[in-house]
Chain A
């Protein structure tokens, strides 16, 4: 690839970017159109719209205001719920996954190998297998209609991220851990003061992936939360789709979708560098 001509490199990169970004841009365009033109753009009646002829910024306010039954309340509630759930899940996943990953990477204990294999195997378990029994479990605990079923499991680690942390921590020089032992730290202390700060690249990936996954999670909130005031943005958006799914409301749907996706986009842009670095250093070894 090195000897590709520079212009060809740039052309390929640019063409790819157009392919990858155009649908998104199209969403932006449609979200800013009038209902009539948005519908036409979707069905291709007037060719491909590349630029909103007359940007209707009001679409956004309208779309957000109409989420849920009372103006704005639905959106504000859903936003707060999403933030709370996502924050808890991210914190829980990072803490528990790094702790368990540390145990798998650096401590010597019988059963470690078997448990690690078991954990890798669980990654293959289709979520469909556990959905109904889990629901029965959470009902038994009285957690339905609270955010607990969404947040609590995160504090018990996630196999994929445990794996990533483990792969990363294995590469941390053993002597750092030993130095900390000589310095008088217990295992928890070593994890907190040495391992966790060192794992920043993995933590960045873990946090971003978890954030995006939780933010976009749809099935969980749908199943566990009944009351409208409890719903997260993904569920609110789906109700919105069901209510505004027609062609004449497609501009509102796109506006609401974009607002919902915005935090993911911003987060990605902010974390992009650490993200790539982390993937390079942790995720693919072994």
Chain B
């Protein structure tokens, strides 16, 4: 607000800032308007193909290569226009794909990882490709694909026979693949005096090398990731797989499998420095190798190579020599292929053009282009042998190692139900990584959970289709009845015309919310309630939903161990985050209520983190809680060190404390608290509400209390707290609701690992909906969440009425 005679530099600055903001907004609208205008004008007679892919590890280069390939395809096929969608990494890709499918608008052509083939093919999402192959052959098409040109395992990976992958109809043309193995830090091998193994090395060679390197100061023998696919690859080298005849009959109890898993557990947990401790979420995976302090890292595929190529040459700071060796042999020499195909949606309206595109994107030239990334191996043998992939000028020297492994690689088969992978990974994590349970227990847990999952009536039973027509009729009838009732009700209003006019005005003014509520809340909520009674794979169309009655709820309440874990984790988090968070926020608010010079700046500083959210901040916090070098543990280490020093001054022994491994070995105790600690950083909003409440406590009350001789603590307990109690209730309810909805942080930072110990309720709900596509089940979960939140709120309101001081507030 400007007043006469107060026009100062500040106000000019403000005017300038407002003008700039206005200009920027105007520019943005213009920019978008022009673009949309061009887009709508750009429609032409060409067939449009929507192509979706990701570019996770390939980064922008992959994005550009795909883009260039597609442009070339457009120029070669003038009748076709390609719209490209790239949501980023594979996770975002599948989420996106899911929603597009649920919307009935799948992209025509898209990437499919081989592990997804069974679930996608089972629901008829992707199109079998043999008809195209046959037609091409019959027509003697020069561009026809000859599957013999491909590594056989990569092709088999996209076959599915109705129960499992590996055989049957072909659902995708593989674009590239990788085999897996270990990356070796050759400098550490040299320092430890270990000879570098050949491609035909054994697990004994592996562990001997790891042990020797582990003896070096400040070095660890090897990183061994325990991802589901890698564990199965490991077991396959012992000649045994998890899957028996089918996925109802597992062979994980085979003595060979148990022995191999037990051996792996012992390497990590019974020896020092042989395997990385699995301490740090961040430093697992490929990046741990970059530190130069790990002798070997794996099993990884080719995808780590682009980032490893940025390791400086030996001699430079942080630099070392490195190379690749395929998976060691155990009882047998084996390996796996992980591969991605181009596939065609069953519902594509232009299958022939889509097939053309698939051929284009998997032809020799496209594959060679992509191979330059170093990220994956061309699936065409010819391309794989070419200089683009086997580039002698670049590390790793042993490109042949990947190809050698490819000859003996098997397809890792996956069942239709995508939960298999996540169940397997999380139970094995608990045994092999965090070491919280024995291998035997892990196997038992896994078998029990998988059986309950795969044998549940939801998975097996034949159900009637959802009665959509009847539901729609019922819905329309209900809507009509409600409208009629509303009209009657409005007309029944008594009172004068002025009164009735006010009543009409009230409804009119509130109508935005009423309409919004009906359209964006009531309808979706009812819809989701209906869906919670359905068995529906979100990727199929609604017509394919089946009526399951209360089966979802039944399973939810009786038979889902992960749900119970997620509830426990969420409650644990709430029990820590809510009371502590409120105490901290209230304390902070009291500080902020001080009449100190520059208090506005302090307030701003304390509040600032709350306005920041999003990906960058979450990434940052993941590093803060890193067990090894994270900010938090370095700070705690310093504090513990200080305490030890003080204790030794008094002649006492050290505390023996070590900073916790937040998201690893100590996750059962420290996982949820880590998120609680992080939430304190964002307590600014709560603090501000408390501050506002404090400022409304009449100062005379404090003065009266001090005259009555009340000390500071007394005044706080008997004046401040009672006066603040409505605000406290408000904040507590908000915090409880919030604590039940923790999602983004966990999603970005841990993804629920390890062993589900950070799988918060909503994260699990998200997993069910967007990873397992169990929309019906997820809807039931959402309703359970709603019920819990409601009950908690009501209980809080009811029990609090005795403690909460209400002034006759306007109501």
Contacts and interface: CB of A to CB of B under 8 A. Distances in A.
A279 B596 contact: no
B790 A128 contact: no
Interface string B291-333: 1000000000000000100101000011000000000000000
A228 B64 CA distance: 13
B485 to A, nearest CB: 12
Contact of B96 (A40, A118, A226, A256): A226
Interface in B604-627: 604-609, 611-617, 619-621, 623-624, 626
A81 B515 CA distance: 27
A84 B32 contact: yes
B277 to A, nearest CB: 15
Residues of A contacting B: mostly: helix
A193 interface: no
A30 to B, nearest CB: 8
Nearest to B290: A247
Given A144-B105, A156-B512, A242 B92 contact: yes
Interface string A217-256: 0100011001111000011011111111111101001101
A247 B273 CA distance: 23
A218 B91 CA distance: 14
Contacts of A270: 17
A280 B691 contact: yes
Q: Specify which of A10, A13, A132, A247 lies most central, judged by the most chain B CB atoms within 10 Å of its CB.
A: A132
Contacts of A119: 513, 517
Contact of B600 (A2, A128, A226, A273): A273
A27 B622 CA distance: 13
B588 A108 contact: no
A47 to B, nearest CB: 8
A157 B793 CA distance: 23
Interface residues of A, number: 132
Interface stretch (B115-123, B499-507, B751-759): B499-507
B605 A21 contact: yes
Nearest to B317: A36
Q: Specify which of A17, A42, A123, A248 lies most central, judged by the most chain B CB atoms within 10 Å of its CB.
A: A42
B259 interface: no
Contact of A264 (B28, B515, B612): B612
Interface residues of B, number: 142
A4 B6 CA distance: 37
A265 B596 CA distance: 23
A248 B308 CA distance: 10
Nearest to B633: A44
B341 interface: no
Q: Specify which of B27, B611, B620 lies most central, judged by the most chain A CB atoms within 10 Å of its CB.
A: B611
Interface stretch (B420-428, B450-458, B781-789): B781-789
A77 interface: yes
Contacts of A162: 513
Contact of B614 (A109, A125, A216, A279): A216
A162 B509 CA distance: 12
B29 A156 contact: no
A9 B594 contact: yes
Nearest to B86: A228
Contact of A20 (B519, B606, B727): B606
A184 interface: no
A218 B615 contact: yes
Contacts of B616: 27, 237, 241, 253-254, 256-258, 260-261
B737 interface: yes
A260 B712 CA distance: 44
B517 A122 contact: yes
B31 to A, nearest CB: 4
Contacts of B693: 284
Given A9-B596, A261-B614, A239 B509 contact: no
Interface stretch (B229-237, B525-533, B575-583): B525-533
Given A128-B769, A218-B614, A242-B88, A229 B59 contact: no
A45 B634 CA distance: 11
B103 A80 contact: no
B756 to A, nearest CB: 18
A44 B631 contact: yes
A35 B200 CA distance: 36
A265 B507 CA distance: 38
A213 B737 CA distance: 18
Contacts of A234: 614-615
Contact of B609 (A20, A81, A136, A272): A20
B795 interface: no
Contacts of B528: 129-130, 132-133
A38 B517 CA distance: 48
Contacts of B607: 268, 272
Given A23-B609, A284-B689, A100 B512 contact: yes
B103 A136 contact: yes
A154 to B, nearest CB: 9
Given A44-B628, A129-B525, A284-B692, A136 B102 contact: yes
A208 B515 CA distance: 25
B351 interface: no
A191 B505 CA distance: 12
Nearest to B614: A216
A229 to B, nearest CB: 7
Contacts of B86: 69, 228, 239
Interface string B397-409: 0000000000000
Interface in A3-55: 3-4, 6, 9-10, 12-13, 16-17, 19-21, 23-24, 26-27, 35-36, 39-40, 42-45, 48
Nearest to B64: A69
A27 B618 CA distance: 12
B193 interface: no
B509 A99 contact: yes
Contacts of B100: 226
Of all A-B residue pairs in the complex, the 10 with the closest CB atoms, nearest first, are: A257-B616, A156-B516, A44-B629, A109-B506, A242-B89, A239-B88, A83-B28, A103-B509, A133-B524, A280-B692
28 contacts: A1-B593, A16-B605, A23-B624, A45-B291, A48-B634, A81-B28, A83-B28, A103-B507, A121-B790, A124-B737, A129-B779, A130-B524, A132-B769, A137-B523, A156-B513, A216-B613, A237-B614, A247-B287, A248-B290, A253-B616, A257-B620, A258-B616, A260-B614, A267-B611, A276-B691, A280-B691, A281-B692, A284-B730
Given A109-B505, A243-B55, 7 more contacts: A83-B29, A107-B505, A132-B769, A153-B520, A156-B515, A187-B508, A247-B307
